[in-house]
Structure 1
Amino acid sequence: MGKVHPKVDEAIETLNMRDNPTRRRLLAGTGLVSAAGAASALLAACSSSSSTHAAVATNGSNPFPAVPNQKYYFNNHADTNEFFTPTKYGYSDAVALLGLPAPTWGGSATSADSEMVSFMNTAISAKAGGIATSVIDSSMATPVKNAMDAGIPVVTYNADGIYTHGVPQIYTNRLAYVGQALYLSGQAMGEQIKTLVPGGGEIVIFIATPGTGNIQPRYDGAVSVLGSSYHVSEVATSTVDGTELSTEKSYLLGHKGTLKGAFAVDSGSTANLTAALKGTGTSIPAGGFDTDPRTLSGLQAGTIKFSIFQDPYQQGFLPTLYLYLYNLSGGQLAPPDTDTGLTVLTPSNVATMQKNSRFQGGSSAQMYIPRPSGAINQPVGTTST
């Protein structure tokens, strides 16, 4: 492995990411780094002006050092779900920035363990340069270990295991996790519910796939703060959009008159809440997760009172960046656990998220911030202004 590029080294110094060069262990108990801060620091350091670096960028060449075999695989538990469209844009932008080939996306559309394990085995057989995978249960333990033993770095994103009474049960020896602190996000949801339904009562929390490590911790976190005055029903909706809506409508109709609030812990179940409430003539507080366009419309109309954002774009961008840096340094630059955020959206602050952008998956158009005259990394086809 060659010498680390000085700009990359400077960026890592800024991020304070240095660690044991042979790191192949769990990172349980370590602090989570801000995703926005990590990305900003790296890009700022890599964009700082120097005559040599600027000349390379001006000539249209990639300013980042080349590393052999940078073919990455993204393994996902809901690989056809529109929620992950920004994730794909995130890794697409990262590989464009770094001059890498496009990652291979796959896994399972229905959280099927066998399909996710099979995709991991495909990546290992192909001698991938790195793997990013969601971990929704213990089935990933062996394939992740096999990849790491084969010298393939693995990071997790979106889901890293499951929580039992708030304690993370991390199933794999992955290098790092990039995603929301799921149990804590559930506790934040519980606090929102207590504000909307003061004093307790009967509520429902819809969940696509009970027991899976990507959303069960949210339910558990919410219940942990609600207390005995709340009578909570956990209702499975599935990962199929139409089934989610029909399940919610059926439940709301069956409990009309007694139900004090309806909530959800996943993107699809939250997105269908507005239509379910309107379709059953039910007017009760509601809320959930993520920024599906239907959820944003419900927030704007006030039908949905809150939705908790976890930044799926960063969950594609940062794992790609971390795998590249790990490989570039020969394992010296071990990636950090990174919290991609917990932002509570309400009708009063939802306007920013309603912009039709690549970062929310609503537009494929590349987004960029114009730079001063003479700055490097101008978007293709533009000139300095």
Structure 2
Amino acid sequence: MAQERDEEQDRLEQVKVGRRGLLQGAGLGAALSLLGTLGTGAGGLISTAQAAESAFPNHKKWKIVFVNHVTTNPFFVPTQYGIQDACSLLDMDYQWTGSATSDAGEMVRAVNAAIAAKADAIAVPIVDPTAFDKPIQAALDAGIPVFAYNADAPRGKSNPRLAYIGQDLYLSGYQMGQRIVSLIDSGLVGLFIATPGQLNIQPRLDGASEAIKKSGKNIQIQTIATGATVNEELSKIKAFYLGHQDLKGMFAVDAGSTQGIAEVMKENNLPSKGVHGGGFDLLPTTVQLIHDGFLDFTIDQQPYVQGFYTVMQAFVTLASGGLVGPADVNTGLKFVTKDTVEPYLNTSTRYEGKSTKAQILQMRGPIK
């Protein structure tokens, strides 16, 4: 009996070592094999051979091509970390390509190039209502699964992509509009958008405008196009404020414009003048200036999982021969305010794009 207890203790220690290895980046197959030593069967244990049989069989190192509309925008840093982590976990490869300036034609050419190169899967934000219909259908006809991430075809319009992984964009804008009318009773409000008409952000602007109008408050909306680069956005926001210093609020529907608003709010100490501001996403400057009281809120749409879940969907689709996998994933809507910003400010992780280090974080108590 003592020998049996010793053998069981050895197996449990092996499991503990395996768990530590998984958290520290051990190979997936080895980690699954070690974790599998504890499970069902006689005495609650199964053999490592049985565990190995339950893991995914060997497969081609599938490559997924991510076409993007603003390839150098800092918003997509955590998205790329999510892609990298999922590819590492699932033994896949990826390419990051597309346009740096939201040029739909350039993006379509990148999709066509991925088809010609025989990519195993393609992911693309559908930022134009019609430009991606034919190339996506061509990819599907070639047996290449295609997923939309971050931006999807307009509501009610059919696009052949298999699934959408991203935020409900119109709803997020509508809820931002409701937050705006809770802060402002009347006066001029500037709504800033990097690239009007593009489907990753235009639905947010539409939702915000609708919520403000439905409130019945005497709020005058003015929409301002800021551009596709952070420096350009900041310049446009500064210029608008200088020409409309009687405004009551500035709000944005994209990450770069939100950061620009935060900087202008700080530079002119606008909260002390009764001006409110807010927007989307978690660029480091935005997070810091929420903490410092210069911005009322930002909305987190979790860019990390927009990359991670897209890779996982592609993997399951490919591994199952297309039988299972494609499913829409709403990556969420979370208001971040001065009361809830502390963890974002004081934690540097790949999940928010502020660190290159892979790490497992401990829960900090109640989830807000």
Q: Which interval holds the TM-score relative to the shorter structure?
A: 0.7 to 0.9
Q: Does 1:274 align with 2:262?
A: yes
2:9 corresponding residue in structure 1: none
Shift of 1:171: 5.0
Q: Distance in 2 between matches of 1:272 and 1:178?
A: 27
**SS of equivalent residue, structure 1 residue 51:** coil
Q: Does 1:157 align with 2:149?
A: yes
For residues 275-314 of structure 1, the aligned pairs below 5 Å read 275-283=263-271, 284-314=275-305
Unaligned runs of 5+ in 1: 1-45, 163-167, 371-385
TM (norm. structure 1) is 0.78
2:235 corresponding residue in structure 1: 246
Shift of 1:288: 0.2
Q: Distance in 2 between matches of 1:47 and 1:183?
A: 44
- Of the candidates 321, 327, 334, which is equivalent to residue 318 of structure 2? 327
1:83 corresponding residue in structure 2: 75
Shift of 1:236: 0.4
Q: Distance in 2 between matches of 1:347 and 1:170?
A: 38
TM (norm. structure 2) is 0.81
1:124 corresponding residue in structure 2: 115
Letter in 1 for 2:236: T
- Of the candidates 153, 156, 167, which is equivalent to residue 180 of structure 1? 167
Q: Distance in 1 between matches of 2:221 and 2:361?
A: 45
Unaligned runs of 5+ in 2: 1-31, 39-45, 363-368
**SS of equivalent residue, structure 1 residue 131:** strand
- Of the candidates 193, 208, 226, which is equivalent to residue 207 of structure 1? 193
Larger Rg, first or second structure (1 or 2):
2
User: Contact between 2:34 and 2:48, CA under 8 Å: does it hold in 1?
Assistant: no
Letter in 2 for 1:326: T
Q: Distance in 1 between matches of 2:126 and 2:289?
A: 30
For residues 1-385 of structure 1, the aligned pairs below 5 Å read 49-51=35-37, 55=48, 63-68=55-60, 70-101=62-93, 103-137=94-128, 138-162=130-154, 168-197=155-184, 199-227=185-213, 228=216, 229-257=218-246, 259-283=247-271, 284-354=275-345, 355-368=347-360
Shift of 1:127: 0.9
Quick one: structure 1 residues 47 and 117, their matched pair in 2 at CA, closer, same or farther if it must change by over 3 Å? farther
Letter in 1 for 2:200: N
Query: Highest relative contact order (Cα 8 Å, sep 6+), 1 or 2?
Result: 1
User: Contact between 1:140 and 1:171, CA under 8 Å: does it hold in 2?
Assistant: no
**SS of equivalent residue, structure 1 residue 72:** strand
Quick one: structure 1 residues 216 and 85, their matched pair in 2 at CA, closer, same or farther if it must change by over 3 Å? same
**SS of equivalent residue, structure 1 residue 315:** helix
Quick one: structure 1 residues 211 and 90, their matched pair in 2 at CA, closer, same or farther if it must change by over 3 Å? same
Shift of 1:280: 3.9
Q: Distance in 2 between matches of 1:202 and 1:151?
A: 51
**SS of equivalent residue, structure 1 residue 139:** coil
Q: Distance in 1 between matches of 2:92 and 2:162?
A: 21
Shift of 1:347: 0.5
Letter in 2 for 1:218: R
Listed one character per residue, the Cα deviations across residues 62-118 of structure 1 (whole Å, up to 9, x for unaligned) are: 9433333511100100111111010110011001111222x0000001110111011
Q: Which runs of 4+ in 1 moved over 6 A?
A: 56-59
Q: Distance in 1 between matches of 2:77 and 2:342?
A: 20
Q: Distance in 2 between matches of 1:264 and 1:175?
A: 30
Q: Distance in 1 between matches of 2:188 and 2:47?
A: 62
In the alignment of these two chains, the number of paired residues is: 316
Letter in 2 for 1:178: I
User: Contact between 2:164 and 2:327, CA under 8 Å: does it hold in 1?
Assistant: yes
User: Contact between 1:205 and 1:219, CA under 8 Å: does it hold in 2?
Assistant: yes
Quick one: structure 1 residues 154 and 345, their matched pair in 2 at CA, closer, same or farther if it must change by over 3 Å? same
Shift of 1:51: 3.2
Letter in 2 for 1:320: V
Letter in 2 for 1:266: D
Shift of 1:343: 0.3
Q: Distance in 2 between matches of 1:48 and 1:177?
A: 35
2:22 corresponding residue in structure 1: none
Shift of 1:161: 2.2
